[in-house]
Structure 1
Amino acid sequence: MLIKIHYKEGMLMKVNVAICDDNEIFCNQIKEFIERFNKENNTNCEVSTFNSGFDLLGQYTAEYKIIILDIEMKGMNGIETALEIRKKNQKVIIWFLTVSKDYMLEGYKAEAFRYLIKPLSYDDFAKEFDESIRWVDEKYVRPIIVEYKNETYHLETNDILFIEVFGHKLIYHLLNEKITTIDTLKNIEIELCKLNFVRIHRSYLINLKKVKTFNRNEVVMKNNERIPISKYKEKDFKEAYTHLWGKILG
């Protein structure tokens, strides 16, 4: 299996945004705001619009990273919709927009990221939206885009336990499978080390978040596989571990 990995400097990952409001004019206005924001900031936001909470929940997917909800909708209001979404996803950013502050306390029950009052100018929207995008970029796992036989796939870095060099190939060790590729660690190491990976041996690059336990000689990953720590890489491992978890290693 030949996989090519692509990284785009300066580009944020695609962010799926859902707008839910029973006022079609307002939905379109916010959609236009986001499209303008994309052009001005080189972002990659894809927008879906819904006319009711029922419609949103019926087509809800975890791909949505930001959800913008009007509170005062007929049938299922924005608060009720948000509380249902929170049962499925604790990380998604939820905005509430309304003409009144009366629902503010209820909104925070759904862990609202922003609570904004209509009407909303583009400048006010862009300021708040920029912060939301930055939060998504920092908190969500960046996917690695891979190509195989003219098909494109997304391999989440959070699914990778470690990568092993085997001859002229790489083996991606996931929790329940292994993917063999023709590549070198040098091609991916710089970018993955920005995402909590560290090289602990000439043949192994590990995901620090998937470490179960370790000693000075080896690391045990969450799938119980044991990986040796090279004496030349022990310092790098300790520094990376300290940076991620804030625990100083002796």
Structure 2
Amino acid sequence: MPAEARAPRGRSTLSIAIVEDDDRDRERLRTMLRQYETDSGVTIRLTEFEDGAAIIEGYQPLFDVIFLDIQMGGIDGMRAAEAIREVDASVILIFVTKTAQYAVGGYAVQALSYLLKPVSMFAVAGELDRSIAQLGRAEQTSILVGPRSSPRRVDVNDIVSIESRRHQIRLHTVDELLTFNATLQEFDDLLSPRGFSRSHSSFLVNLKHVVSIDGDECVMTTGDRVRISRSRKKLLLEELANHIGARLV
């Protein structure tokens, strides 16, 4: 299952999570987010969690922004952030805290900033404006792959090649192999505009990782060799030349 990582970066939609164990603080933040939605015209898909354990259980990297209370019983915001960062390097984390000293640890999990309680509408709107700006600047470089029940985020630049074998996809990255059910055509449609080429009916290669062409094989940066079919070799060579800015003579 290949899929775009999040909503399009035109920023007509934001997927936001609130992680807060205090009912009143959670309601206050929810109200402000809905007010921002009204004022800005941005549609907010809002999900709420009552503690850190709730968000990290079965966490999937589908949020744009997470507001995290630091001081919570059980799994606090900092520990939840560490668990989230293990599987999601892109989501924007904004800590909410009663005391500034607790926000110092945010550097370790690349938090965008922190808000002091009681949060104000001015502060929330400012952080959302900053988040939207950051999301707009960030290139969409990752996709979700794997079973729909447990997708993984993979950086497109780390994908070396994708192979279709016996109705399964074997996705080779620079340091691991992922196997799951999908079709190669899905990946071809998604990744061809991003510098990938169909070298064979069963293979898709990332032109960035092609070191050389040796006969009927692509030699990849990992040392792997990927087959090239006779019918696709000319187009592959043209696409590789265009990718590196060279000219075939």
Question: TM-score, structure 1 length as denominator?
Answer: 0.59
* 1:130 maps to which of 129, 132, 156: 132
State yes or no: 1:119 paired with 2:120.
yes
Q: Give the letter aligned to residue 51 of structure 1.
A: E
State yes or no: 1:239 paired with 2:242.
yes
Q: CA RMSD, aligned part only?
A: 5.0
User: SS of the counterpart of 1:19?
Assistant: strand
CA distance in 1, matches of 2:226, 2:115: 49
User: SS of the counterpart of 1:103?
Assistant: helix
Q: Displacement of 1:226 after TM fit? A: 1.4
Q: Give the letter aligned to residue 143 of structure 2.
A: V
CA distance in 2, matches of 1:88, 1:143: 13
Cross-structure match for 1:53: 52
Q: Displacement of 1:36 after TM fit? A: 6.2
Give CA-to-partner distance per residue, 1:192-245, whole Å, 9 cap, x none: 3333323557x68734179575326532567754125623542421433x48xx
User: SS of the counterpart of 1:55?
Assistant: helix
Q: 1:127 to 1:198 in 2, by over 3 A?
A: same
Cross-structure match for 2:109: 110
Give CA-to-partner distance per residue, 1:100-142, whole Å, 9 cap, x none: 4323322212221333343243531430231354367724316
Cross-structure match for 2:191: 192
Q: 1:232 to 1:109 in 2, by over 3 A?
A: closer
Q: 1:180 to 1:233 in 2, by over 3 A?
A: closer
Give CA-to-partner distance per residue, 1:51-91, whole Å, 9 cap, x none: 2223333x341234343201233444322332343345444
CA distance in 2, matches of 1:9, 1:77: 31
CA distance in 1, matches of 2:61, 2:101: 31
Cross-structure match for 1:206: 204
Unaligned runs of 5+ in 2: 172-178
1:63-78 aligned at under 5 Å gives the runs 63-65=61-63, 66-78=65-77
CA distance in 1, matches of 2:145, 2:14: 12
Cross-structure match for 2:170: 174
Cross-structure match for 1:230: 233
Contact 1:94 1:112 survives alignment (8 Å): yes
CA distance in 2, matches of 1:91, 1:204: 31
State yes or no: 1:97 paired with 2:93.
no
Unaligned runs of 5+ in 1: 147-153, 165-170
Contact 2:14 2:42 survives alignment (8 Å): no
Contact 2:161 2:204 survives alignment (8 Å): yes
Q: 1:41 to 1:178 in 2, by over 3 A?
A: same
CA distance in 2, matches of 1:179, 1:62: 19
CA distance in 2, matches of 1:194, 1:124: 35
Question: TM-score, structure 2 length as denominator?
Answer: 0.59
1:136-155 aligned at under 5 Å gives the runs 138-141=140-143
Residue identity over aligned pairs, in percent, reads 18
